[in-house]
Structure 1
Amino acid sequence: MSIDAAEYRQRRDRLMKKIGHGTAIFGSAPLSVMHHDVEYPFRQESDFFYLTGFDEPEAVAVFAPHHEEHQFVLFVQPKDMEKETWTGYRIGVEEAKKQYGADEVYPINELNEKLPQYLKNADRIYYHLGRDDTFNQTVIRHWQSFIRQYPKRGKGPIAIEDSNPTLHPLRQIKSAREIELVRKAVKVAVEAHNRALEFAKPGVYEYQIQAEIEHTFGSYGMTPAYPSIVASGENSCILHYIENKRQVQKGDLLLIDAGSSYHYYNSDITRTFSVGASFSKEQQSIYELVLEAQLQAISQIKPGNDYKTIHDTAVCVLVGGLLDLGLLKGDFEQIIEEEKYKPFYMHRTGHWLGLDVHDAGVYQYGEEKSVILQPGHILTVEPGIYISPHIKPAEEQPEIPERWRGIGIRIEDDILVTEDGCEVLTAGVPKSVEEMQKI
């Protein structure tokens, strides 16, 4: 396992301390079908994996700290050689108990029979109503059964509480081992991006560049963390462009947003450069502005600062620059307050990174209170400006001259919050104007 058994046990202990007399239920990811009977590659549900390390479908984890004997219970697929011949080996009930530290393990087909004993003395059920509607209904039926019995018994779960606010703050702060896994994913993604910088030439197709990137991932036993974005020319203005089929032309901007996944821990890097030629005057002006916004935002990352400051800093730099370039006009503070910059910059400046690319955890509590950065947070910083050929300026803003249209630039790095500041994990990919001009 990528995380040792002791760390998984510590995670479960922290969760059970928080839920007290409740019972928490987490389901695995189901197998998914692409078309007919062809299955997607299996990817475990992150909360379930975080607590168990168990990497098979059709499984359920139950945490009942109030139970006298079984605080951690797994339900898994039993051994079945006929089915395993078709879909791969299963660890089975007995081996799961040996390897994963559960107090008890049952076959998954006994879930409805066995689950009530772990609910009957709980005061509430911690469960996130996710995309698996069938399992959602299973949990709700058990809860409703106890609700009906409550007038006679006077105990049992009377509420279902979303498990995310309880578990996700634990996931946000990364352990030393988690940081090491992210570093490994970052190292390979850095190599892949640098390979793409060398390979990208006029005349190649976006999908050929994607193949070079993902070949690098695969050569280290890693997979893409998300569909790779290789967006040339006007495609650079499409935030989640994944068609990757255009032929790259000399002087095109090429925006590459790609990251690798290692034992489910992810990297996420974006670079933008001009292919086979120096930046045009307009391209360089926008690139320098985005880079300055990113550097200023990164400078705000240290323990004790709030998350919101990162985005606010980037927005202030971008708006100031767009005003200087004549792409916005009016009062600086009013433009920010009324978000009149959004035709150019419509997303946030970053996100948490870890087991999920957009990792678990909130960014603020209500309208006013932002999350305070702590050592062990990992986040991305990715400001951008996108001047689509079809851009429609905000009300009372100037029309965009043709020479600016079709310029899309984003620069993204992965940042670890340290005890006294931060570390740019992805610094191995160049991003200065001088380095980009040499490509």
Structure 2
Amino acid sequence: MTLLAPDPACFIKRRKQLLAWMHRHGGGIAVLGTAPEKTRNRDSHYAYRHDSDFYYLTGFTQPNAWLVLIAGTEDQSILFCEPKHPELEIWNGLRWGPEEAAKHFCFDAAFDSGRLNDELPRLMAGHPRLMTTMSRPSDESFFGMLRGWVKQAGQQVRGARAYPTNWLDISDVLAEMRLIKDEVELATMRKAASISALAHRRAMQAVRPGCHEYELEAEILQVFRKNGAQSVAYESIVAAGPNACILHHRAGHDIMRDGDLVLIDAGCELDGYASDITRTFPANGKFSGPQRALYDIVLAAQQAAIANTSASHHFNAGHEAAVQVLTRGLLDEGLLKGTFEHALETAAYQQFYMHRTGHWLGMDVHDVGSYRTPPLSNEDQPWRMLSEGMVLTIEPGLYVRPTDEVDERFWHIGIRIEDDAIVTANGCELITRDVPVDPDEIEALIRG
């Protein structure tokens, strides 16, 4: 067995970009740790997944690793990782070890992570400013270790030199860096999208009345792994009939009945990058009249959102366009009453459409980055303009639950259509259309 390392060029470039930002903000030392391993039960662990920010700067995917960047008179990029351990590697697989990691990932130095308590205080000495990501979800052990190393650094210098007394959060600067994808990232995301589209096509070909939700999930997972994806980007949603009106329904034992719609929201993760596709289709291969009517509304709303996704539009323009189409369609089908203007002003559509039309996509399925104009991201700020290289989803939907005000023909119809889009100068590139959205093409694929 051999270990494979990604091309280090893009990771070196990103570290240099962050070091330049650190210099502009007074220099200092940055410390980032990767994600910890998580116990599932007793001595069984969840499948390990690295921290996205850490991977973005290193390309390193093994646990118990730390990155140190020093922006000083001489910039340094240092990795701490687990040492080689032949006995443990028999059980858990090969480790890079510091020597090989420094060589393959192009660090200035690398150390055994067991030396953190000795080396980190020494490296911190002389630097009054410590930079790290403070948005890690409730990782108190991470901040506890940082505080301990800072304390040790202060004891070592004894007033003769500076040590970190000023902490800066670099979460936002990393989020802004990650928001614009480079060509390596875009190529990976196109490939992930292609694999996920293939899986959705397979699910359409396998569906039939009497099929369980978990059976279609199994078809999807097989295609993911068979085509090289390492994992799912998120837990797959496979929802039959009424379950399609539950936004985060997990694939279960429910059976798809003749006449049901099936909503599948599933995407693979490839080399650290997510894809995210939703398709809705009839279990028996034929949309009913009410199903087709609502499907056509959602598809028209998505087309309107796509037309408003480009570098000349702000982030919310697609959502605003989709909402207008959805509102008009709901009025035409009698699901809403009154005038178009009043329905839009009162957001009456939210009874049937309660989420936004898209989100950032990248290493995380709901990726980092402000939706408002930076540096502030509160609701008083205007929506940010889209830029070339951003990637987002476009995913309008309609979900009709039984109520006395709604014609029974539409009950239990849940529809969402979601594609992944790369923002370009004059529009957007849809990278997930290898699986159809046209209802006639969907029916033909299922019947075929």
Deviation of residue 332 (structure 1)?
Answer: 4.1
Pick from 380, 403, 412: which aligns with 1:406? 412
Structure 1 equivalent of residue 179 of structure 2: 172
Pick from 199, 207, 211: which aligns with 2:218? 211
Would you say 1:386 and 2:399 are equivalent positions? yes
Contact 1:252 1:275 in 2 (8 A): yes
- Encode CA deviations 1:327-371: one digit per residue, 9 max, x unaligned: 223454554454443231111111111211112212113223222
Structure 2 equivalent of residue 394 of structure 1: none
- Encode CA deviations 1:248-303: one digit per residue, 9 max, x unaligned: 11111011111122111221111101121522222112111111110000111111
Query: More deviation in 182-191 or 120-129?
Result: 120-129
Pick from 94, 108, 113: which aligns with 2:118? 113
Quick one: distance in 1 between partners of 2:47 and 2:249? 22
Quick one: distance in 1 between partners of 2:399 and 2:418? 14
Secondary structure (helix, strand or coil) at the match of 1:307 reads coil
Would you say 1:370 and 2:379 are equivalent positions? no
Contact 1:210 1:244 in 2 (8 A): no
Quick one: distance in 2 between partners of 1:197 and 1:56? 36
Structure 1 equivalent of residue 360 of structure 2: 352
Deviation of residue 85 (structure 1)?
Answer: 2.2
Pick from 34, 37, 56: which aligns with 1:31? 37
Quick one: distance in 1 between partners of 2:335 and 2:73? 64
Quick one: distance in 2 between partners of 1:399 and 1:161? 54
Contact 1:277 1:437 in 2 (8 A): yes
1:296/1:95 Cα in 2 relative to 1: closer, same or farther (>3 Å)? same
Unaligned 5+ segments in structure 1 are 392-397
Deviation of residue 3 (structure 1)?
Answer: 4.3
Query: More deviation in 326-335 or 404-413?
Result: 326-335
Secondary structure (helix, strand or coil) at the match of 1:195 reads helix
Contact 2:239 2:264 in 1 (8 A): yes
1:215/1:64 Cα in 2 relative to 1: closer, same or farther (>3 Å)? same
Structure 1 equivalent of residue 92 of structure 2: 87
Quick one: distance in 2 between partners of 1:28 and 1:309? 36
Pick from 310, 335, 344: which aligns with 2:318? 310
Query: More deviation in 287-296 or 90-99?
Result: 90-99
Structure 1 equivalent of residue 12 of structure 2: 9
Pick from 196, 204, 210: which aligns with 2:203? 196
Deviation of residue 230 (structure 1)?
Answer: 1.3
Contact 1:257 1:270 in 2 (8 A): yes
Pick from 299, 318, 336: which aligns with 1:328? 336
Contact 1:3 1:177 in 2 (8 A): no
Contact 1:97 1:103 in 2 (8 A): yes
Normalising by structure 2, what TM-score? Answer: 0.90
Contact 2:397 2:414 in 1 (8 A): yes
Quick one: distance in 2 between partners of 1:35 and 1:297? 44
Structure 2 equivalent of residue 276 of structure 1: 284
Would you say 1:133 and 2:140 are equivalent positions? yes
Name the amino acid aligned to 2:312.
Answer: G
Secondary structure (helix, strand or coil) at the match of 1:8 reads helix
- Encode CA deviations 1:20-62: one digit per residue, 9 max, x unaligned: 2032221111111111111111111111011101111001101
1:148/1:321 Cα in 2 relative to 1: closer, same or farther (>3 Å)? farther
Deviation of residue 420 (structure 1)?
Answer: 2.8
- Encode CA deviations 1:414-434: one digit per residue, 9 max, x unaligned: 111123321111111111132
Secondary structure (helix, strand or coil) at the match of 2:311 reads coil
Structure 2 equivalent of residue 395 of structure 1: none
Structure 1 equivalent of residue 244 of structure 2: 236
Would you say 1:41 and 2:47 are equivalent positions? yes
Quick one: distance in 2 between partners of 1:341 and 1:10? 46
Secondary structure (helix, strand or coil) at the match of 2:13 reads helix
Normalising by structure 1, what TM-score? Answer: 0.92
Name the amino acid aligned to 2:7.
Answer: D
1:87/1:233 Cα in 2 relative to 1: closer, same or farther (>3 Å)? same
Provide the alpha-carbon RMSD of the alignment. Answer: 2.2
1:372/1:156 Cα in 2 relative to 1: closer, same or farther (>3 Å)? farther
1:160/1:328 Cα in 2 relative to 1: closer, same or farther (>3 Å)? farther
Give the paired residue count.
Answer: 431
Structure 2 equivalent of residue 60 of structure 1: 66
Deviation of residue 124 (structure 1)?
Answer: 2.6
Contact 2:129 2:164 in 1 (8 A): yes
Contact 1:231 1:256 in 2 (8 A): yes
Quick one: distance in 1 between partners of 2:342 and 2:117? 58
Quick one: distance in 1 between partners of 2:397 and 2:284? 22
Percent of pairs identical after alignment? 41
Query: More deviation in 210-219 or 108-117?
Result: 108-117
Name the amino acid aligned to 2:175.
Answer: H
Contact 2:207 2:283 in 1 (8 A): yes
Pick from 65, 73, 80: which aligns with 1:75? 80
